[in-house]
Structure 1
């Protein structure tokens, strides 16, 4: 990714930031790799009792990553609420909807990844923190730093890359990580 001064985000990061971004890039690769050679119908197919499909996992991980980076930049007000509409929108991230294509979802994921990498490279301090929004799954009064958010994005991506590997193996016997 090129910055305004012509360098790349990777060249301006070092130490902890480079390690975090390299780890995230590895897990993004594993997730994306599960979709290699698939058409839209295959990417949308559910192969387990779960509602998950490969295209939906790509869409979900991109949406979650974007949301958490918005949180880093803008605080808890950037995150969706617990109203019925927000929860329905979140649930829809797990599936490919009519008109969505695997190529389009992968392109969106690339855009989200570029933005995340740039934010991590340019953020003045990874200790920048915000209070988490009120939700049953967050400890009341907890704060997360940008570093903690990035670790959460890495964990989320790795977890869903594992799910994607199982779905792909169920689809056609191909494996990603094994």
Structure 2
């Protein structure tokens, strides 16, 4: 008899939902390749003039996934229900390890996937008040998923540049 992992998300039927989850998984995989075989010190090293480091990018994406999943589940109020450390989420502190940052990232990714596997993709919420959002604009859960895919892809590119500057390794080449 086959054992079933009850902690795993329910099977997703073929189609749009499966495509969104596959795209998220693909871009997360590229991001994770950038930190393969690194030490904690390498993961926190800044190789460009920005504050970005590989561990910090992983932390940021985990936090971003949590915030946007809260939005998709309950709107702007839910999104903003937990404080965000905008500065330190891009840094990997001396007290943090790459393994702990990756475990948190895996947890956030899993929570996003579980939510998206059953959420009403057409459900909309008004975006939070921010200078970069048009007042009164609304996003669907589908748009949130697309936004996450774009953010992870963009940050995977940043991570690739940082890794190549760090030790010459090319994630995508």
TM-score range, shorter chain: over 0.9
Q: Secondary structure at the match of 2:125?
A: strand
Tell whether the 8 Å contact from 1:13 to 1:121 is kept in structure 2 after alignment: no
TM norm structure 1? 0.90
Structure 1: which 4+ aligned runs deviate by more than 6 Å? none
Paired with 1:119 and 1:2, the residues of 2 have a C-alpha distance of 17
For structure 2, the 5+ residue unaligned runs are none
SS at match of 2:48: coil
Residue 23 in 1 paired to residue 23 in 2?
A: yes
Residue 138 (str. 1) matches residue 119 (str. 2): no
Match of 1:68 in 2: 68
**Where do residues 53-132 of structure 1 align in structure 2 (5 Å cutoff)?**
53-80=53-80, 89-123=85-119, 125-132=120-127
1:146-175 CA-to-partner distances (Å, cap 9, x unmatched) read 000000000000000000000000000001
Aligned partners of 1:10 and 1:18 also within 8 Å: no
Give the length in aligned residue pairs.
169
User: Hey, what does 1:34 align to over in structure 2?
Assistant: 34
Q: What is the aligned-residue RMSD (CA, Å)? A: 1.7
Task: Summarize deviations over 1:45-100 as a string: whole Å, max 9, x none.
Answer: 0001111000000000110011000101121012339xxxx57x112111112311
